[in-house]
Amino acid sequence: MADAPAEALTVGAELTLNLGGQSLAGTRRIALLVEIARLGSITQAAKAAGFSYKGAWDAVEQMSNLAGEPLLERSAGGTGGGRTLLTPRGEQLLRNVVLIQQEHARFVERLNRQAGGLAGDYSLMEGLAMRTSARNQFAGTVVSLRGGAVNDEVELEAIGGLRIVASITHESTAELGLAVGAKAFALIKASSIILMADMRGVRLSARNQLKGVVSRVTPGAVNCEVVLALAGGGAVAAIITNDSAQALALEVGSSATAVFKASSVIVGVAA
C-alpha cells in the first residue's frame, strides 16, 4: 500500500491588538464590535458573536478602559426602543481594525505560499500566552513616583483622568523600569474591592476611592458582581455578598464608591 501523502503545512495566525501590555481586542472582540455596529444592540450582537450578555459588557468595558475612552453609547429610545451604538472612538477603532485585518490576511497568505515543503523540517509548537484572573485592568501612564522607607508609591493616570495608586517594593520599581511618563497597567482583583454607598462623614486610609454609578448587578448563589461606571468612561467591578448588596441597596443607577488599598494593586509593564 502506498504511503499516504504528507499533509500540507499551512500557516494560521490569530490577530490580536495589544495596548499597554494588555490585550485590547482579539478575533472574538473584533467580531463583537462589528456586530454592535451592524445591529445597534449589544444583546443581539452578543448572541451573534457568541458572547453571553455579561461577557459582552465585560469585553467592551475592558476595551474602553484600555482605550482610554468609551467605545459604546446608548441612545434614547423612540417607538423602536433604545439602541447601543459605537462612539466615534469605537467607530474609528473598528475602521482601523478592519484595515489591519486586511493587511494581516495578506501577510498570512504570503506565508502560506512559502510554506510548501516545510512540514518535513519543522514541527509545530503551540504559542504560550499569559493570562490574568484580575477582573479590573487599567492601562495608564505613571504620573507620580514617591520612594518610601520600605515600598514605593506609584500613581497611574488611566482612562478619563482616573488616578490609581499602587504600593510596590523598590525592587519591583527597578525591575519594571518605572519612571514618571512610563506606560504601565494596573490590575485589581474584584474580590479586593470594597463598595460603600454613603461616604459622608467617613474617612478611610485606603488610597483608592473611585466614585461611580452602578451599571450592572449580576447575582450568584452567594456573591454578586457589581459594576460601577466611572466618570470619564471607565468601569470597575467588585465581588461582594448578596447580603451586602441588599444592605447597601445597590441597584442600577445608584451611586457607590469602590475602595481598595494601594497594596491591592499589581503594576505591570509590556515586555
Judged on CB neighbours under 10 Å (0-12, 13-18, 19+), 8 is exposed
Question: In which element (H, E) is residue 100 found?
Answer: helix 88-113
How confident is the model at residue 67, as a pLDDT?
A: 76
Q: Give the C-alpha separation, 27 to 38, whole Å.
A: 17
Helix (H) or strand (E) holding 245: helix 242-247
Q: Is 242 helix (H, G, I), strand (E, B) or coil?
A: helix
CA-based nearest residue to 164, from 20, 10, 9, 7:
20
In this predicted structure, what is the pLDDT of residue 103? 77
**Span 78-87, average pLDDT:** 68
pLDDT-derived band at 137 (thresholds 50, 70, 90) equals: confident
Question: Which of 187 and 150 is assigned the larger pLDDT?
Answer: 187
Which pLDDT belongs to residue 111? 62
Longest alpha-carbon distance in the chain: 86
The string of pLDDT tens digits covering residues 31-73 is 898 899 899 899 999 999 999 999 999 888 888 887 778 888 8
| pLDDT digits 0-9 by tens, 205-237 | 888 999 999 999 999 999 999 999 998 788 999
